[in-house]
């Protein structure tokens, strides 16, 4: 499609967050081909499929949900208000053991609907069967980076390597990274094997790390006082970089390693406070120049997939944790939710509005009461913004959601069928 947006406010994040008025943005195919005031451009160069007057509404990069478990939608509000270990052992693992590949397909489709309504255009997915997850996201049109949760009890490493080859050579919307679940679910031998594969592929590894205090303490008991970050680094897992999910309980030495090895950390504020895991040291990470992104975690632990809520909590929790209202500026949080997440999960062409970037963008309703008066639009998105403000979501140059209606691809199941199939999944398990 060739789409021309005009009379738009445009928010960019590279080189500092800024909003400019009275701009045009052109999309041809799956790329942004022009951003400007329109006076220096040849509109006749393209045959427009649509020309959209935004009347001052805001165009901005779509959110990058840099850590999620989409297939867990079937457990939303079915596994709440329990301590972490009981939550896992009584409500999560027993139900997940009953999941089929087709269940994961339908549950992932449900998550994708929610991503569209809240302006998410890319996700970093970690769940049980990457083949069925890819089937869902490709059918839907969602940009998806996957990493496996390889551990002592899951699929063998050989199967992960098969996924790596298959899912990096198919749809351009799908990519696959190396991954383990966490230090505490992997033997030393498995970690060493994954480190060797990382060296062979010259590729980073993705994993949960330092999510709970118990995880860190038990690791120290196993490895003579070394934290998860320290032992994983010692075993060579970080030599080609890594992206760590959570990063709540870390030391100064851990952060020195993160900085030295150029690791990224994905902050999951809602999940971490709901499960009483703690609050990540976002302020310190930023001061040390550690790359950060934001994720929702899964819908069994969050329970929603709303990046607006995540942005607000990421800033607000740091303010109360540090007893400093200036801690973690909202503009930094907005960068984390867009360009920061894109960098952390290896999507170099996403996360900002620039010519040549992939056309993953959203339109924000600037006429809604919570967006007025217009003082600082970027800060308002973090502190007052809501998924109800999302008027349009475009992924890879295709409009998939507009004015409250889904515009699903021809081969994608209907919304009603998705709802029915997911309800049947959890009904079968009870």
Tens digits of per-residue pLDDT, 241-281? 999 999 999 999 999 999 999 999 999 999 999 999 999 99
| Predicted confidence (pLDDT) per residue in 323-350, tens digit | 999 999 999 999 999 999 999 999 999 9
| Predicted confidence (pLDDT) per residue in 16-58, tens digit | 999 999 999 999 999 999 999 999 888 889 999 999 999 999 9
Taking the C-alpha atoms of residue 333 and residue 319, their distance in angstroms, rounded to an integer, is 13
* From-to residues of CATH 2.30.40.10 in the chain: 2-60+359-406
Query: Which among 318, 317, 297 is positioned nearest to 307, based on CA atoms?
Result: 297
Judged against a pLDDT cut of 90, whether residue 425 lies above it is answered with yes
pLDDT averaged over the chain? 97
CATH classification code of 63-344: 3.20.20.140
| Predicted confidence (pLDDT) per residue in 365-401, tens digit | 999 999 999 999 999 999 999 999 999 999 999 999 9
* From-to residues of CATH 3.20.20.140 in the chain: 63-344
Judged against a pLDDT cut of 90, whether residue 288 lies above it is answered with yes
pTM, full prediction: 0.98
Q: Which fold has domain 2-60+359-406?
A: Urease, subunit C; domain 1 (2.30.40)
At residue 82, the pLDDT reads: 85
At residue 35, the pLDDT reads: 97
At residue 83, the pLDDT reads: 79
Backbone angles phi, psi at 406, to 5 degrees: -80, 135
């Amino acid at each position: 499609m060739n789409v021309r947006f005009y009379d738009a406010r445009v928010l960019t994040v590279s080189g500092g967050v800024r909003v400019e008025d009275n701009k045009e943005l052109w999309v041809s195919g799956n790329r942004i081909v022009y951003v400007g005031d329109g006076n220096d451009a040849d509109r006749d160069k393209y045959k427009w499929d649509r020309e959209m007057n935004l009347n001052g509404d805001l165009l901005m990069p779509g959110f990058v949900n840099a850590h999620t478990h989409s297939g867990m939608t079937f457990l939303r509000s079915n596994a709440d208000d329990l301590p972490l270990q009981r939550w896992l052992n009584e409500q999560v693992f027993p139900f997940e053991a009953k999941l089929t590949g087709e269940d994961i397909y339908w549950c992932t489709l449900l998550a994708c609907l929610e991503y569209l309504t809240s302006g998410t255009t890319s996700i970093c997915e970690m769940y049980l069967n990457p083949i069925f997850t890819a089937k869902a996201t490709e059918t839907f049109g969602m940009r998806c980076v996957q990493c496996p949760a390889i551990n002592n009890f899951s699929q063998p490493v050989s199967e992960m390597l098969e996924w790596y080859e298959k899912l990096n050579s198919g749809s351009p919307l799908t990519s696959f990274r190396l991954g383990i679940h966490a230090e505490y679910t992997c033997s030393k031998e498995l970690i060493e094997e994954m480190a060797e594969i990382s060296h062979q592929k010259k590729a980073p590894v993705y994993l949960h790390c330092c999510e709970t205090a118990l995880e860190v303490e038990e690791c120290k008991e196993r490895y003579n006082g070394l934290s998860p970050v320290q032992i994983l680094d010692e075993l060579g897992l970080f030599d080609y970089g890594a992206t760590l999910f959570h990063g709540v309980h870390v030391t100064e030495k851990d952060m020195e390693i993160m900085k030295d090895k150029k690791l990224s950390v994905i902050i999951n504020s809602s999940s971490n406070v709901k499960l009483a895991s703690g609050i990540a040291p976002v302020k310190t990470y930023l001061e040390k120049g550690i790359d950060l992104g934001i994720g929702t975690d899964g819908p069994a632990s969050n329970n929603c997939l709303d990046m607006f809520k995540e942005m607000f909590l990421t800033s607000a929790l740091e303010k109360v944790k540090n007893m400093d209202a200036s801690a973690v500026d909202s503009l930094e949080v907005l960068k984390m939710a867009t360009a920061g997440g894109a960098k952390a999960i290896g999507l170099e062409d996403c996360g900002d509005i620039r010519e040549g970037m992939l056309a993953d963008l959203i339109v924000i309703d600037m006429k809604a009461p919570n967006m007025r008066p217009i003082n600082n639009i970027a800060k308002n998105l973090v502190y007052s913004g809501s998924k109800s403000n999302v008027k349009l979501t475009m992924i890879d140059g295709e409009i998939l959601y507009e004015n409250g209606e889904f515009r699903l691809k021809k081969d994608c199941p209907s919304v009603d069928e998705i709802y029915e199939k997911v309800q049947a999944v959890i009904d079968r398990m009870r």
